[in-house]
Every structure is written in structure tokens, then in C-alpha cells.
Amino acid sequence: MPVGTQATVKGLTQRDLAEDLGVQILLANTYHLYLRPGHELIRSMGGLHKFMSWPNAILTDSGGFQVFSLSGLRKITDHGVEFRSHLDGGLHLFTPESTVDYQLAYGSDVLMVLDECPEYPVSHEYARQSMQRTVRWARQADAHHRNRLEQSPGARHALFPIVQGSMFADLRRECAAALVELDTDGYAIGGLSVGEPRPLSLEMVEATEPVLPRSKPRYAMGVGMPGELPEYVARGVDMMDCVLPTRNARNGYLFTSQGRVIIKHALYKDDQRPLDENCQCYTCRSYSRAYLRHLFQSGEILYAVLATRHNIRRYLDIMREIRHAIISESFPEYLRCVRSAADAG
């Protein structure tokens, strides 16, 4: 899922995403859209899909990640979390219930439960308390969501709670087990890629996965590098989102089938080849590395557009490859192949 925090995937139009790249679901962010332009405005504009002219699905993150990662001034209360806006310093309160309501105002297809995303590392004791709070919030959010659903029988949106527990397998399992009791539409694994060594992230997914029902989608939040995507899938993950393809694109870091290309390197100054010979995206079909480098060095907007389009395409291609491998029952072989390529590279 490409990340469109502020109701836009930076650098791409909705037509690029839906028609050209075939994106079926986007991420947007409750925290950012709540602060600006505001959930009531979005509701009055007919919901997020209409507001941003997006024809496909939208998953909204609850804002838990923002509240805990960027808001210096925050206070956890019995009701939720008090925090200050990064825009104007104003005081706000997020509760499990209110964040469900904001996401309903947006008209999201997949709502995420407010959670606490602890930093890394934290003590087992802190991680336990934090995880238990996340579970409590999930129960509240779920109950509230079910009430709202009863009030609007035609609604088809889903609610995902988020497994936490820092880097402690026992807490991860305990959390997952508690959340599974809610029998929600899907489950997310959060709190990964917060600074921990890469193998730990995978370990945590391994610990969690057996507890989560196979009939429901599992969503690993905020991951990962291209080589990590098959690893998560191998561990039972169905959905992922990550800012890497879009942010790194803008910062000059491009993902190709042959590894990374840091486009500012002098090496590409007069490189006439396309960015990725194996890529069918518009950028690779039309432009040379030398031109992309020139645009980057010149600070041209077109650079971000072309680079983002490519990186998103690369990520979608990887996921397509994975799906084909699974359908053709060759995923283990695919995984071996990807791993040996990574070792070689």
C-alpha cells in the first residue's frame, strides 16, 4: 500500500496511481487529516474518497504512531492520549472511540485502532503495560465501532486492531491472543522498524503469526525494504505499507530489479541506460539515468514525479511477483532466489 499521509501520495496523481500503476489501496493518516483539514471538513466534502478523488480503497492509520513518535508533549490518560499539534501547538485528545469516529467521518474502508507504538528499546515491564493499554483501547474501539455499525446497517468498512509488545515474543503472543478474541476483520502487527535490528522484526512476526487466524488478513505496519517484503510474506503477512518507495524516491534513492541506484552519484552523469532495464514503468520506458540525475541535481519537481512513479511500480512489481509465485506454488523457490540475489548483491 503506497502511503498517502495527507490524502496524497506525494508526487503522483490519483490517476497515475489507480490507472497507470494499478494501486488498489492507499494509506492515509487520521492524525494529519484530523489536524488539517479536519474530519468535519472531509465529512462535509463527502468523505475522503470524494475529497481526494480516489476510486479505490483507503486504509487510515489511527494516528497512534504520530502521537507517540513526533509529539513531544503527550500525556496518556484513562481515556486516551493528550497531545499537542505539531502545526500550532494546540492541545488535543485522541481516544479509541474518537479516532474511530474520525475515520468514519473520512469514510475509510479499513480503520485502524488507536494503539501505543513504543520506541525501541523499552523494558519488558514497560512493553507489557503499554501492550495491555493497547489491548484495552482495542476493546473499546471495537465496541464503539460495533455500535456505530448497528447505527448504519449498510456500512462495509473494516476495523483492524494492532498487535504490540515491543520485541518480546511472549508479549506479542499475549497481545495477539487477546485481540483475536475481538474477532475483527483483520489484524495488524505494529511497532516494527522502530530502530530494532532487522532479524528481530521478523522474529516478532514469526512469534505473532501462529496466533492470528489464517482466514483474516494480516497487516505488517510500516515495512520494509524491497528484500524484506518476501520475508514478511513468508511469515504469513498479507499487507504492508511503507514510506520508503515514496520518500526515498524524492531523496534520490531508487529501487531497481538490480539493486539500489543512488541517482546523484557522478557515475550516472552520462548514463544513457534506463533506470531499470527490466521495468515497464513510464519513467524507465522514457528517460535515461543521466536525465533523472540532472533533474534531481537541479531540484526539479519532475524528478520527484518520475522517481516516485518508478519506486512505487517497483514495490508493486515485487508484490505481483510474490502473488504469482504463491499462485503457481513456487513461492519457496522464489524466496530462495530472492535471498541468493540479496546475498550476491
Catalytic residues: 61, 241
Measured CA distances, 145 to 135, 157, 314 (Å): 15, 10, 36
Question: In this structure, what DSSP letter does residue 260 have?
Answer: E
Helix (H) / strand (E) containing 114: none
Q: Which of 238, 175, 184, 240 is nearest to 211 (CA)?
A: 175
Residues 4-23 that bind RNA (CB under 7 A): 4-5, 9-10
Binding range to RNA, per CB under 7 A, among 44-52, 143-151, 190-198, 317-325? 190-198
The set of cell numbers assigned to 120 is: 525501541
Considering the rule CB under 7 A, would residue 192 count as an interface residue with RNA?
yes
Minimum CB separation of residue 118 from RNA in Å reads 8
Quote the least distance from Cβ 153 to RNA, whole Å: 28
Give yes or no for residue 193 binding RNA (CB under 7 A).
yes
- CA 100 from centroid of its chain's CA atoms: 18
CA dihedral 15, 3, 38, 59 (to 10 degrees): 90
Q: Which residue's C-alpha cell is 518480546? A: 168
Give Cβ neighbours of residue 271 (< 8 Å, ≥ 6 apart). Answer: 288, 289, 290, 293
What's the grid cell of residue 266? 557522478
Options 155, 267, 326, 341; binder of RNA; rule CB under 7 A: 267
**Any contact of residue 166 with RNA (CB under 7 A)?**
no
Whose Cβ is closer to RNA: residue 9's or residue 171's? 9
* By the rule CB under 7 A, 244 interacts with RNA: yes
If one asks whether residue 141 binds RNA (CB under 7 A), the answer comes out as: no
Nearer to RNA, 74 or 330 (CB): 74
32 contributes a contact to RNA by CB under 7 A: yes
Using the rule CB under 7 A, which residue among 21, 34, 61, 255 binds RNA?
Answer: 61
Q: Which is nearer to RNA, 63 or 107 (CB)?
A: 63
Q: Report the C-alpha gap between 328 and 309 in whole angstroms.
A: 28
Work out whether 109 is an interface residue with RNA (CB under 7 A).
no
Residue 284 or 312: the one with the smaller Cβ distance to RNA is: 312
CA distance 89 to 86: 6
Stretch that binds RNA, among 101-109, 142-150, 169-177, 258-266 (CB under 7 A): 258-266
Span of 13-21, 239-247, 273-281, 324-332 interacting with RNA by CB under 7 A: 239-247
Please, what's the b/e burial string for 240-275 (b: 16 or more CB within 10 A of its CB; e: otherwise)? bbbebbbebbbebbbbbeeeebebeeeebeebeebb
Name the nearest CA neighbour of 60 among 131, 4, 15: 4
Q: Could you say whether residue 103 binds RNA (CB under 7 A)?
A: no
**Is 3 an interacting residue with respect to RNA (CB under 7 A)?**
yes
Is residue 226 involved in binding RNA (CB under 7 A)? no
Query: Per rule CB under 7 A, is residue 184 in the interface with RNA?
Result: no
Grid coordinates of 338: 530472492
Footprint on this chain of RNA (rule: CB under 7 A): 3-5, 9-10, 27, 29, 32, 61-62, 64-66, 69-70, 72, 86-87, 112, 115, 117, 162, 164, 188, 190-194, 198, 221-225, 228, 241-244, 246-248, 250-253, 262, 264-267, 269, 297, 299, 301, 304
